[in-house]
C-alpha cells in the first residue's frame, strides 16, 4: 500500500468557443482509490463528469470561450496493487476467458494484431505461456525498439513502430498489446501518471489478462510499475486521449507530476513481480 | 411494422478440439424484436450465450470436438423502424452528444478516421450538415467505389479501399464510418441479415448518430434498409465477426437467408427516408 | 527562347568526415543549355562530376572534413522549349512507345501506380486520351489536394497524399505521375529551379510521354512552366535528391533563386500550351 | 564453368488484340553466355528484341490477336561464375562506389529502404562489414520469414513482408535488398532460372555490390547459386516482370526448367563461397 500525489496542469489559448474533453482524473478500481481530488478550471466555466467506453473511463466535458483557459487537477491516490508469483500466472484457456475480456482480443486502430499472427508465433510461439511470455515480449520490445521522440506521431500504429524501430511510451505499449492479442491474450492500453518518470509527463503502459486478472506491463522500463496511477483504460491510445479539443485551442503549457506521499515510490516491488491494479 | 424470417446455417469440419464464438443471433433493440428463436448445434455440445462489448452484442460460445459441426439459427424478427423526415435530422452539436456516443468518434482498426480529416473536409466540408451530409457521403462512396469481391480481404481498412476503389459491403461501411467520424459525427458498424440481398449472405452497413438517435445507412444500395435485421453493432467489422474459431475448423457450407413474412420486405420505405432501428 | 540565371547556395556544418553528393547543376538537353556555369566549394576540397541513372543526371561528388562547408552553383541557362498544340498530343499506343520510355511505366518508391489502376480508371478512364487527360489529372490534383508544408515528409508516397489530401510540390508530382502510369502513360519526376516560385526553393514537377516526346506538367500551378530549369529526371524524388550526405552534416542555410535574364520569365507561354524541354 | 539448359513455355488465351512484353531470355554478362537460343511464338506474329532500363535487360515485344498464343524459349547457357574468398569481400567505402552503383542505394517500389534505417542498424549495425554482413542478413531473413505461397501478392513490399513474416522468393529478395541499402550497400534484384528449384519456376534472388563487384545472394536457400541463370536485373521485381500484358490475355499454362548439361549443377560451389556472375 502506498499513496501518490498526482497533479496536472494544462493551459490553453482558446481561439474560438470550443468543447474540451479531458481525461486526467485518476480512475477508481478495486486497487486504486483517489482521495481529496480537486479540479479547477480557469475561467470557471463549469464541467460535467462522465464515464465512457468499455472501461467506463472518467472524463470531464466543458466548453470554453475564446481566451486563456486552464485546467488543474490534483489528487492523492491510494494504491494497493495485488502482487502474484510469476509462476502462478498462466494464460487463461480461451474457454475460461470472461466475456468482458473478449473485446480486448480484437485488433484496434493502433494495434492491428490481425497482421501479426505469424510474427508473434515465430518470435514467441515456443516460449512458455503465461506471465513469462508477456515478459519475453516486453524484453523483446525493450531490446529491439529505441525510445526516441520525434520519429512517430499520433497516426503511427504498432506495425509502423515495428518497421521504424523507434517510438515513445504509447508506441511501446501498442506493440506489446498487438503481440499479446496476436497470441490470444486479451491486452489493453492504460494511460496514467507514473512516479519517477523523467521528464515528468503522462505515461502509457499496458495490461494483459492472465489467470483471471489484468496485470500491468511496461516495455519502456522508464518508471517502476508500483508507482503507476491509472487514468483510463482502452483498446489503445485512441480511447485514452488526455485532451480532446472540438474547436480551436492551442496548448501553451503542460505540467504533470506524480510523487510518493511518505516517501514510498513503488520501488519496493521487484520489477519482475506481477502486479495488478485493475 | 414488418416481420422477417432470418435463417443461417454454418457447417464446419473441426480438425482439433476448438472454441467457437458465433454472432448470428438477431439483436434486441427498441425497434427490433426477435421471436420464436431456435439455435441448434450438431453435435449438441451445449453453448453459453453472452453479451459483449460496448453495444452488448449477443454471442454464442461453444466448444467442439474434432469432426463435423454445424450451427443452425432461425428467428422471426419483428421490425418497427422509426422513420423521420430528412430535414429534421441535423447533426448534434458536440456539446449535445450523449456520453455513450463519444467512443464512436474514435478511429478504429478498419476506420482510421484520424487520417481522413482533410479528405472529409475537402469533399464534404461545404455540404449542409445533418442527414443530407451523410447521404452525400453515401452517394460519393457508391459512385467512387466498385462493389467487387476478391480485391480486399480481412485486413483492408478504409484507406486501402479509398485507394483501391473497390470492395465489398464491409468496406463500403468502413469508408462511410471513417468519413463521418472525420467530420465529427459518431458512426458505427452494423452486421446483420438483409431481405433482398443477392446472393443471400450476411450484410454489413452502418449507423450515424443524428438529432438524438442512430440512423441506418448503406452505401452499397444492395438491399432496402427496411429489411435489415441487426445482429451486432461495433466500431467496425472487427467487433462483429460472424464466427471466430480458436483452434482449427474449416467452413464447409454457409447458407443465410432473410425473407419477409406476409410479403412485406421493407420496400415500403422510400430509400431517402431516414430510418432508425437502434 | 529565354535565359534564366539560376543560383543555389547550401551551407553545412559537417560533424565528421563525410561524403556529399549534390544534384543542383542544370541538365543539358536538346532544349536546355547551361552556360557560364560556376561551382564553388568552401573549403575547396575538390569534386568529381558524374552522370548517373536512367536519365544520366549530373551529380557532384565530394568529401568534406569536419567543420563548415558550403557549395555555391551559378549558371545562365538558355531555354528553348518546344511547344505544341494540345490537340496534336495524343497518347502513344503502347506498340509505339520507345523502349527507353518503358521503365517509366513501372511503379516506384513514391509512385505505387500498381495500387491505383481502378482509381485512375474511375476518375479519368472516360476522359479523352492524350494531353487533355493529363490536364484533367493536373486539375483534379490541384482541386483535391491542399498545398501545405508539414503534413508529408520524405517517406510519404502518392497514396499517403491521396488519403491525407495535402502536401508539397514533390507530393503533387508523385500523385500526377502515379495516375498517369496507372493509365498506361510513361511519366517521370523532374527536379529543378523555377522562375517566380514563392518563396524561392528547388521545385519538383513531372513529365509525361505523349506523341513522341516528354511534356512538362505541374499540378501545383505555383510557377509558369516556361521558367522551369531541369536539374535531374527520375522515376520519382528518390532519384533526384538535391543533396545526399553519407556521414553527418547539418544544413545551416539554403538559398535558391531563378531569375529571367532580359526580363522574360516564361510567362509568354500560355498555361495550357504543351511544352517540352526534354 | 558449367552449362545449363533453360527452357520456358508460356501459353495464353488472348481475349482482345494485345501487346505482350516478355523477359525470359538469358542475359549476356561477362560470366554468363547464352548459346543456341531459340524463341518461338505461336502463331508466328513476329517480335522485336530490345534492351531496357538501367541494366539493359533483354525484352521481347510482340502483338497478338485474339485466340491462343504461346511463347517457347530455349537456350544453353554457359556459366563461369567468379568466386572469391569471403574475407576478401569488404564493403566498398562510399567514396569508392562507382557511379553506376549509386541508383541501387535508392529506395524503390518494393524495397522502401528509407523506412528501415533504424531497423537495419539495430539488427546488423554491429556485424562486421562486407560479405559477412550480407550473409548475416540472409541468415536473419531465412530464420525470421516463412517461405509460403498465398500470403503476399504483387503489391507486397519489404515492410509488408517484415510484418507478415511470410512470402515467396521475390519477397525474400526484397527484404534482403532493403536491408542492404539501408546499411549503405548497393543492392539489386535479379530474376532468373534456377537449377534444382522445386517445383521448377522462375526465381528471384539478389545482388550486392562488394569490393568492386556484384555478388549473388539468395535468402530462400531453395537452390544452389551456382545454377542461377540471370534473365534480368533491376531495382526490384517491378523492373523484372516475366510477362507484361497490355490488353487482355489469360495465362493458361507455364512450364519452366533449368537443367545442368553434362551433369554439373553448380553444386560444386560451397554455399558460403561468394559468387559473381554480373
Evaluate whether D97 touches D186 at the Cβ level (below 8 Å): yes
Question: Per the CB < 8 Å rule, is C100 touching D54?
Answer: no
DSSP D87-156: GG-PPPPGGGS-GGGGGGGS-BTTB-GGG-HHHHHHHHTTSPSSHHHHHHHHHHHHHHSEE-TTS--TT-
Length of chain C equals 278
> What whole-number distance in Å separates Cα of residue A239 and Cα of residue A236?
6
Residue B193 has pLDDT above 60, yes or no: yes
Question: Per the CB < 8 Å rule, is A99 touching B51?
Answer: yes
Chain A nearest CA to B110, separation (Å): 7
Q: Tell which phi-psi region holds residue C174, choosing left (phi > 0), alpha (psi between -120 and 50) or beta.
A: alpha
In terms of Cα–Cα distance, which of A260, A122, A105 is closest to A185?
A: A105
Pairing mode, strands C166-167 and C146-147: parallel
A115: nearest CA in chain D? D164
Residue C266 has pLDDT above 60, yes or no: no
> pLDDT value at position B201?
97
Pairing mode, strands B187-194 and B203-210: antiparallel
Q: Identify the band that residue D263 occupies on the pLDDT scale cut at 50, 70 and 90.
A: low
Cβ-based contacts under 8 A for chains A and D:
35
In terms of Cα–Cα distance, which of A203, A216, A207 is closest to A169?
A: A203
Q: How far apart are the first and last CA of chain C?
A: 15
Distances (CA, A) of B267 to A229, B127, B194, B196, D250: 54, 28, 12, 10, 42
Q: Considering only A113-117, A172-176, A270-274, C156-160, which range has the smallest mean pLDDT?
A: A270-274
> What whole-number distance in Å separates Cα of residue C181 and Cα of residue C212?
16
Nearest residue, CB atoms, D165 vs list A119, A144, A166? A119
Half-sphere exposure of B124 (CA within 13 A, CB side): 26
Return the partners of chain C (3 or more C-beta pairs < 8 Å): B, D
The sign of the dihedral angle between the CA atoms of B51, B53, B55, B58 is negative
In terms of Cα–Cα distance, which of A221, A217, A213 is closest to A84?
A: A213
Q: What is the DSSP letter of B29?
A: B
| Partners of residue D146 in chain A, C-beta under 8 Å | 118, 122
Average pLDDT, chain A: 96
Question: Per the CB < 8 Å rule, is A164 touching D122?
Answer: no
> pLDDT value at position C1?
77
Chain C nearest CA to B146, separation (Å): 9
Pairing mode, strands A67-79 and A2-22: antiparallel
Residue A265 has pLDDT above 60, yes or no: no
> pLDDT value at position B266?
57
> pLDDT value at position A134?
98
Nearest residue, CB atoms, B118 vs list C115, C159, C166? C166
A51: nearest CA in chain B? B99
pLDDT in tens, D45-79: 999 999 999 999 999 999 999 999 999 999 999 99
Question: Per the CB < 8 Å rule, is D246 touching C52?
Answer: no
> pLDDT value at position C262?
79
Residue to mutate among B19, B65, B106, B184, with most A CBs inside 10 A, is B106
CB atoms within 10 A of CB D259: 16
C residues 135-174 closer than 8 Å to D (CB): 154-155
Longest dimension (CA), chain B: 58
Q: How far apart are the first and last CA of chain A?
A: 15
Question: Per the CB < 8 Å rule, is D99 touching C184?
Answer: no
Question: Per the CB < 8 Å rule, is B163 touching C122?
Answer: no
Question: Per the CB < 8 Å rule, is C108 touching D238?
Answer: yes
Q: Considering only A115-124, C7-16, C254-263, which range has the smallest mean pLDDT?
A: C254-263
**How many percent of chain B have pLDDT more than 70?**
98
Report yes or no: C96 at the D interface, CB cutoff 8 Å: no
Chain A nearest CA to B96, separation (Å): 11
Q: How far apart are the first and last CA of chain B?
A: 15
pLDDT in tens, C135-178: 999 999 999 999 999 999 999 999 999 999 999 999 999 999 99
Q: Identify the band that residue D272 occupies on the pLDDT scale cut at 50, 70 and 90.
A: confident
Average pLDDT score over residue span B44-53: 95
Nearest residue, CB atoms, D164 vs list A118, A144, A146? A118
Quick one: angle between helices B117-124 and B169-182, nearest 10?
90
Three-state secondary-structure class, residue C133: helix
**How many percent of chain D have pLDDT more than 90?**
95
Residue to mutate among B47, B50, B97, B109, with most A CBs inside 10 A, is B109
Residue A266 has pLDDT above 90, yes or no: no
Chain D nearest CA to A119, separation (Å): 6
Residue A9 has pLDDT above 90, yes or no: yes
> pLDDT value at position B107?
98
> What whole-number distance in Å separates Cα of residue D82 and Cα of residue D187?
18
Residue D112 has pLDDT above 80, yes or no: yes
Q: Identify the band that residue B94 occupies on the pLDDT scale cut at 50, 70 and 90.
A: very high
Residue C267 has pLDDT above 70, yes or no: no
Chain A nearest CA to B187, separation (Å): 14
Evaluate whether A46 touches A40 at the Cβ level (below 8 Å): no
Q: Identify the band that residue B197 occupies on the pLDDT scale cut at 50, 70 and 90.
A: very high
pLDDT in tens, A12-66: 999 999 999 999 999 999 999 999 999 999 999 999 999 999 999 999 999 999 9
Three-state secondary-structure class, residue A160: helix
> pLDDT value at position A262?
80
Q: Identify the band that residue A168 occupies on the pLDDT scale cut at 50, 70 and 90.
A: very high
In terms of Cα–Cα distance, which of B181, B275, B218, B239 is closest to B56?
A: B239
Q: How does C31-63 read in b/e, with b if 16+ C-beta sit within 10 Å? A: bbbbeeeebebeeeeebeebebbbbebbbbbbb
Evaluate whether D261 touches C131 at the Cβ level (below 8 Å): no
Residues in a beta bridge with A213? A210
Distances (CA, A) of D204 to C106, D31, D188: 18, 18, 11
Supply D276's cell numbers. 559473381
Q: B154: burial class by Cβ within 10 Å (0-12, 13-18, 19+)?
A: exposed
Chain B nearest CA to C146, separation (Å): 9
Average pLDDT, chain D: 96
> pLDDT value at position C270?
85
Nearest residue, CB atoms, A118 vs list D118, D146, D159? D146
| Partners of residue D165 in chain A, C-beta under 8 Å | 118-119, 122
Distances (CA, A) of C157 to B158, C113, C161: 17, 10, 6
Residue D251 has pLDDT above 70, yes or no: yes
> What whole-number distance in Å separates Cα of residue D52 and Cα of residue C110?
21
Question: Per the CB < 8 Å rule, is D238 touching C184?
Answer: no
Which is more confident, B54 or C268?
Answer: B54
Three-state secondary-structure class, residue C74: strand
Q: Identify the band that residue C64 occupies on the pLDDT scale cut at 50, 70 and 90.
A: very high
| Partners of residue C102 in chain D, C-beta under 8 Å | 21, 52-53, 59
pLDDT in tens, B135-165: 999 999 999 999 999 999 999 999 999 999 9
Residue D265 has pLDDT above 70, yes or no: no
The sign of the dihedral angle between the CA atoms of C105, C108, C110, C115 is positive
pLDDT in tens, D186-217: 999 999 999 999 999 999 999 999 999 999 99
Three-state secondary-structure class, residue B198: coil
> pLDDT value at position C269?
76
Nearest residue, CB atoms, C52 vs list D53, D59, D99? D99
Chain A nearest CA to D89, separation (Å): 29
Amino acid at each position: 500500500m502506498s499513496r501518490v500525489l498526482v497533479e496536472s496542469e494544462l493551459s490553453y489559448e482558446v481561439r474560438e468557443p470550443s468543447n474540451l474533453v479531458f481525461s486526467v482524473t485518476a480512475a477508481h478500481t478495486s486497487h486504486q482509490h483517489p482521495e481529496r481530488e480537486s479540479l479547477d478550471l480557469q475561467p470557471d466555466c463549469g464541467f460535467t463528469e462522465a464515464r465512457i467506453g468499455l472501461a467506463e473511463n472518467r472524463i470531464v466535458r466543458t466548453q470554453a470561450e475564446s481566451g486563456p483557459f486552464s485546467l488543474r487537477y490534483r489528487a492523492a491516490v491510494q494504491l494497493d496493487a495485488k502482487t502474484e508469483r510469476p509462476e502462478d500466472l498462466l494464460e487463461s484457456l480461451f474457454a475460461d476467458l470472461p466475456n468482458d475480456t473478449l473485446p480486448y482480443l480484437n485488433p484496434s486502430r493502433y494495434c492491428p494484431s490481425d497482421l501479426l499472427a505469424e510474427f508473434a508465433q515465430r518470435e514467441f510461439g515456443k516460449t512458455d505461456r503465461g506471465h513469462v511470455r508477456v515478459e519475453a515480449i516486453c524484453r523483446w520490445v525493450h531490446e529491439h525498439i529505441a525510445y526516441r521522440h520525434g520519429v512517430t506521431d499520433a497516426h503511427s500504429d504498432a506495425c509502423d513502430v515495428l518497421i521504424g524501430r523507434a517510438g515513445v511510451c504509447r508506441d511501446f505499449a501498442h506493440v506489446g498489446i498487438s503481440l499479446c492479442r496476436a497470441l490470444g491474450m486479451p491486452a489493453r492500453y492504460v494511460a496514467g501518471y507514473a512516479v519517477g518518470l523523467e521528464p515528468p509527463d503522462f505515461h502509457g503502459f499496458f495490461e494483459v489478462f492472465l489467470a483471471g486478472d489484468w496485470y500491468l506491463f511496461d516495455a519502456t522500463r522508464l518508471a517502476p510499475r508500483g508507482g503507476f496511477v491509472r487514468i483510463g483504460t482502452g483498446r489503445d491510445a485512441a480511447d485514452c486521449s488526455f485532451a480532446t479539443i472540438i474547436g480551436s485551442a492551442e496548448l501553451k503549457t503542460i505540467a504533470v507530476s506524480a510523487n510518493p506521499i511518505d516517501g514510498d515510490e513503488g520501488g519496493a516491488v521487484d520489477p519482475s513481480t506481477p502486479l495488478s491494479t485493475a
